[in-house]
Amino acid sequence: MRSSALGSLLAFLLLLRLPSCRGDDVAASDSVNPCCYLPCQHWGVCVRYGESSYECDCTRTGYYGENCTVPEFWTRVRHFLKPKPNVVHYILTHFHWLWDIVNNTFLRDVLMRLVLTVRSNLIPSPPTYNSKYGYLNWESYYNLSYYTRLLPPVPEDCPTPLGVKGKAGLPDPELLVERLLKRRTFRPDPQGSNLMFAFFAQHFTHQFFKTFNRMGLGFTKALSHGVDAGHVYGDNLQRQLQLRLLKDGKLKYQLVNGEMYPPTVDEVPIRMNYPPWIPPQDKIAIGHEVFGLLPGLGMYATLWLREHNRVCDVLRAEHPTWDDEQLFQTARLIIIGETIKIVIEEYVQHLSGYMLQLKFDPTLLFNSHFQYGNRIALEFSHLYHWHPLMPDSFVIDGDELSYKQFLYNTSVLTHYGIEKIVASFSRQVAGQINGGHNIPAQVTNVAVRTIKEGRELRVQPYNEYRKRFNLKPYASFREFTDNEEIARELEEFYGDIDAVEFYPGLMLERARPGAIFGESIVEMGAPFSLKGLLGNPICSPEYWKPSTFGGQVGFDMVNSATLKKLVCLNVKTCPYVAFRIPHGEKSHRRDGSKARTDEL
């Protein structure tokens, strides 16, 4: 009886506390939009009535009460049984003996299914908001030109840019980046991520992160909103047809020293984003118009070009009666499948640090309530700005290249060849993403633009997204970061931990011990990623069968795909290739020198 009374009292106090949570710099006023206080907790929806009244819609949140703060019975039970994210992460990254047992028994499938369903259920499907509408409507649902939004924008008529918390004005973005995000000394990733990982992250994600600000803020050109290999084939039919050889299902190519590379824009006159002083014969034609920027992106573009044409040869031998169109379309589905397989079992596996061996097996979800389809969220795009991965310079075959020598220099591909580039990038360590002070000076302008875009689109505060992903909001700057200088600067800039912006919060949060990320990027990014990967049509019961991929041979190519196969089946010799620098070997550092892995 005593504990029940205490629980009721605590719930009552919560109800009293939440509506009055006003920022220190903002005086209470009846004229303030009450939804500016972001009063509705646990995914509740704030609906404004009149000038100063509101109601929280708590439907199917598992909570009730004025602000959706009182847990229902089964919600209490789940919270009691559910371990904290850091406890789960610790278990998943320790106890080798336990995971050796799990990974070799039926328990692997059981846990993988749990990971997929629990993570994916955090992402709404169908989509909810977009950058124009902070309420549900048909336009937000069907207009694929918008990024979706997980949380609605901060109301326009609020006392502060983040609602009611913090100061009346936000810090200058250039100053914020200069003092908190810009690299001072390169800090390597303690997980040993390398440049193969860094360029894969950029190459893979830009097929669905294609912000189209020429159309307006919050718009995207990637209308498929998922893994469609548009970075290989183009994002529209006209571009695709120009890139295709229109024979045997293959893509156009050029031969340099007997090896296949993407053609030049002289041969394939498509739009590519190069500076005007680059001559046409030095511009390569790729599915994604900006991938001439970095030879690391050109390396992956070359590998996927070769893989597509190799797959076409295999399919043609199996199906001599198939025409060009069927060969091309089936090869594209195989490339998409190979991509997802590599992403889940190697890329996500590496960045998670988990000892649970992740598994790409769509059949794990066939008996679950799972919606096939995906919309890319603006928040996911901002979360994936991982520019701290980039080094200060690039070391290839013993040569150190500055950014000036590297950017837009497609001759790097043909001069060194894919084998040497892969071998070098596999041994050069990437930077740690979280913790601040690690974005190279050459790309800090991207961080500035991201902060400005977040403000123009009125993205909710960082702590609100912590709560949306069932994470405890930070109570102070010193809980948020173990760097006293960063904590002090943040307090000066924002005044209140609840006023810290989404993107700066993601980048500045303290990293987990020995990890590339902090808690938030993993716990927020994984649901977006897994929902997008498993929500792909090829993972549905209607598609996931051998006939979709041209028979068992094509199906086997998807199910056996690895990063090593992608490289080694498409080059003359097989170099060391992985997303992690080799254990026990010396690693090329950003300054061209070498360091033992135990220094990392």
Please say if 206 is a catalytic residue.
Answer: yes
What pLDDT is recorded for position 179?
Answer: 97
Inter-helix orientation angle 418-425/295-318, to 10°: 120
What pairs with residue 57 in β-bridges? 45
DSSP 116-171: HHHHHTTS-SS--EESS-SS--HHHHH-TTBPEESSPPPPTT-SBTTBSSS-SSPP
Q: Cα 381 from chain centroid?
A: 6
Q: Choosing from 300, 384, 416, 462, which is the catalytic residue?
A: 384
Print pLDDT tens along the chain (600 aa).
Answer: 333 343 333 333 333 333 333 333 333 445 899 999 999 999 999 999 999 999 999 999 999 999 999 999 999 999 999 898 889 989 999 999 999 999 999 999 999 999 999 999 999 999 999 999 999 999 999 999 999 999 999 999 999 999 999 999 999 999 999 999 999 999 999 999 999 999 999 999 999 999 888 888 899 988 889 999 999 999 999 999 999 999 999 999 999 999 999 999 999 999 999 999 999 889 999 999 999 999 999 999 999 999 999 999 999 999 999 999 999 999 999 999 999 999 999 999 999 999 999 999 999 999 988 889 899 999 999 999 999 999 999 999 999 999 999 999 999 999 999 999 999 999 999 999 999 999 999 999 999 999 999 999 999 999 999 999 999 999 999 999 999 999 999 999 999 999 999 999 999 999 999 999 999 999 999 999 999 999 999 999 999 999 999 999 999 999 999 999 999 999 999 999 999 999 866 555 444 344 433 333
What pLDDT is recorded for position 214?
Answer: 81
Torsional class of 396: left (φ above 0), alpha (ψ -120 to 50), beta (otherwise) = beta
Instruction: Measure Cα distances from 335 to 227, 292, 309, 395 in Å.
Output: 10, 21, 10, 29
What pLDDT is recorded for position 10?
Answer: 33
Q: What are phi and psi of 212, to 5 degrees?
A: -125, 70
What pLDDT is recorded for position 201?
Answer: 96
- Distance, CA of 159 to CA of 19 (rounded, Å): 16
Are 358 and 530 a contacting pair, CB within 8 Å? no
Q: Choosing from 206, 225, 231, 437, which is the catalytic residue?
A: 206
What pLDDT is recorded for position 156?
Answer: 92
What pLDDT is recorded for position 12?
Answer: 33
Q: In which element (H, E) is residue 47 found?
A: strand 45-49
What per-residue string of b and e applies to 69-92 under the rule 16 or more CB within 10 Å gives b? bbbeeeeeeeeeeeeebeeebeeb
Short-list 389, 386, 384, CA closest to 429? 389
- Distance, CA of 600 to CA of 591 (rounded, Å): 15
What pLDDT is recorded for position 16?
Answer: 35
Token digits of residue 220: 């995207």
- Distance, CA of 486 to CA of 460 (rounded, Å): 21
Q: pTM of the full predicted structure?
A: 0.90
What pLDDT is recorded for position 216?
Answer: 83
